[in-house]
Amino acid sequence: MTKRHLTKQQRRRIEKNQAENSSQVDARQEADKQLSATTLGPEQNGRVIARYGTQVDIEPDQPTSHQIHRDSHRCHLRANLPNLVTGDQVTWQEGETRGVVIARHSRTSELCRPDNRGKLRPVAANIDRIAIVIAPYPEPHANLIDRYLVAAEHQAIQPMLILNKADLIDDSHRLFLDQLLNSYTKLGYDCLKVSAHTGEGMSSLADYLKTLTSVFVGQSGVGKSSLLNTLSPEIHLAVGELSAAKAKGVHTTTTSRLFHLPNGGDVIDSPGIREFGLWHLEPDSIAQGFVEFRPFLGSCKFRDCKHNQEPECALRQAVDDGAIGQERFDSYWHILHSLEQDQ
């Protein structure tokens, strides 16, 4: 991904990771051998609801118990399987203590993000909505919201915004938050204001989610797990305190897991993140990810216009005319600069 040469330290880290990967393959081959010695049930379809290292929790497609709380089965993975993430549809077999996943079905969508080494990794599959959760505390960064929006647009998964902790909104930031939500509503994104604590707006949220498979994403501490706890009395997720010094979350959720809501719909709770790298995207794709830029792209005087200092730039003209907001144009530049710095 990056163009620079690898430092010694980076090369050592990559070699170490490769060694770990091959030891994981060995472990899986060993598990395979043990499994073929035990009796396995018939092949059936199921869905990955969580992943733990080299094992996954699978839910059968035909639930045997109540809709919300279904039995899940811890499974090993066959050595030759492609990567599995929460939301994947699979073929699997039940075992005595552990089952085994034998095939992954094709995905209708994937939410991907680059890892620390710039390698793009799927984090959830077969989702129809990316719900970006924000809150008055920790303070929302428009740039992080825009990064999620660009990634969602690029992967063709519809994003939406949830402003949680409405109970904490006071005069010091009411105007800022209202303007923030208004600006995204104007761009055509669905926005909901809720409070997991007081219940405000929660029935609208349940209604919104009921026909969808969604993934909750956003900074640590915005209340993704708290929202799930309020949406279903059967979900008891750990929630974290905000660190007093920084008003930041403490990364309570560590694994993405899928839950069923009482009125319908599935939600994947995901670990909070600080940064959402977009190193895998070219500047053109980033501009395409800003939906309101699209009508103007291709109309600049120069075909290779960088929308910077060039004369007769259609994008900059649109900013002057008020068709593109200055904040979003700045945010676009912020992302482009961060790409240059990382290269």
Ligand X SMILES: Nc1nc2c(ncn2[C@@H]2O[C@H](COP(=O)(O)OP(=O)(O)OP(=O)(O)O)[C@@H](O)[C@H]2O)c(=O)[nH]1
181 near ligand X, judged by CB under 6 A: no
225 near ligand X, judged by CB under 6 A: yes
How near is the Cβ of 336 to Zn ion at its closest, in Å? 12
Q: Which is nearer to Mg ion, 225 or 331 (CB)?
A: 225
253 near ligand X, judged by CB under 6 A: yes
Site for ligand X in 25-84 (CB under 6 A): none
Chosen residue from 202, 313, 318, 335 binding Zn ion by CB under 5 A: 313
Q: What are phi and psi of 319, to 5 degrees?
A: -65, -45
319 near Zn ion, judged by CB under 5 A: no
307 binds, among Zn ion, ligand X, Mg ion, none (CB under 5 to 8 A by kind): Zn ion
Chosen residue from 42, 62, 170, 241 binding ligand X by CB under 6 A: 241
Chosen residue from 160, 191, 206, 222 binding ligand X by CB under 6 A: 222
- Selection from 88, 152, 99 nearest residue 126 by Cα: 88
In angstroms, what is the C-alpha Rg of the chain?
Answer: 22
Distance CA 103, CA 84 (A): 10
157's tokens: 């998964």
Strand partners, 91: 45, 103
109 near Mg ion, judged by CB under 5 A: no
Chosen residue from 225, 229, 232, 256 binding Mg ion by CB under 5 A: 225
242 near ligand X, judged by CB under 6 A: yes
Cβ-defined contacts of 187-191 (< 8 Å, 24+): 187/291, 187/292, 188/291, 189/149, 189/159, 189/160, 189/161, 190/160, 190/161, 191/160, 191/161, 191/162, 191/163
- For CA atoms 123, 272, 23, 14, give the dihedral sign: positive
Residue nearest to ligand X (CB): 272
Question: Binding residues for ligand X, per CB under 6 A?
Answer: 164-165, 167-168, 195-197, 220-226, 239-242, 249, 251-253, 271-272
* Residues near Zn ion, by CB under 5 A: 300, 305, 307, 313, 315
